[in-house]
Structure formats: structure tokens, C-alpha cells
Amino acid sequence: MSGGTEQADILTVLSLVKERWKVAKKIGGGGFGEIYEAVDLLTRVSVALKVESAQQPKQVLKMEVAVLKKLQGKDHVCRFVGCGRNDRFNYVVMELQVGINAEDLMPRS
């Protein structure tokens, strides 16, 4: 039992981010944020939308964006689409990579 310490998701299905990306479903989450599949309303392509709360003490998305931009064009790196922030959350939008989950490749002990 979690003891009621679970927090609500930052976004919900059909939420609109910057009038461009519409959330389709949540696909992951962890200690530093949440990841959603969203539709880019300009291109009609599915994208990954990663968000972190603006109130979170340790902001990591800014560093992730810098690294992602630096690695653009390299093999096995998803394409950067956009990023931004508002009073509720910081976000990065990138190409949605569908395939084997890296966690499933880890040996079990």
C-alpha cells in the first residue's frame, strides 16, 4: 500500500501542450517525470512528450534537452522536436521510438 502518497499525473489524456501537442496516453513515469504519447497537430505524427513538474526541486529536463540537441544526427538518438515550460511543468518533445523496451533487455537476477 502506498499510504496515499501517490501524486496525480501532470497531464491527462486530451491535454493540449502549447496548442500543438495533444496527449493520447501515458506511456511511462519515474522519479523525475512522466512520458506521454501525443499527437503533433501540425504534422499529425505521434511524438513522445516528457514532462517534469515546475515545482520539482531537481530540474533535469534542461540538461536532457542540452544533451539531446548535442547528439542530434547520431545513430540511435531520437529526433528533437521542441521544448518549453509553463508555470506547471517543463517539457521536451521528441520522436517517438517504438520497439523493444530497454528494461526488458536487462538480465534478471
Strands (E), 1-109: 16-17, 21-30, 33-40, 46-53, 80-85, 89-95
Residue 22 annotated as lining a ligand binding site: no
The per-residue pLDDT for range 70-93, each reduced to its tens digit, is 999 999 899 999 999 999 999 999
- Please report, in tens digits, the pLDDT of each residue of the chain (109 residues total): 445 556 789 999 999 999 999 999 999 988 789 999 999 999 999 999 999 999 988 889 999 999 999 999 999 899 999 999 999 999 999 999 777 766 677 787 7
Side-chain half-sphere CA neighbours of 63 within 13 A: 4
Domain 16-97 has CATH 3.30.200.20: yes
Q: Where are the domains of the chain?
A: 16-97
Q: Round to whole Å and give the CA distance between 23 and 26.
A: 8
pLDDT for the residue 1: 44
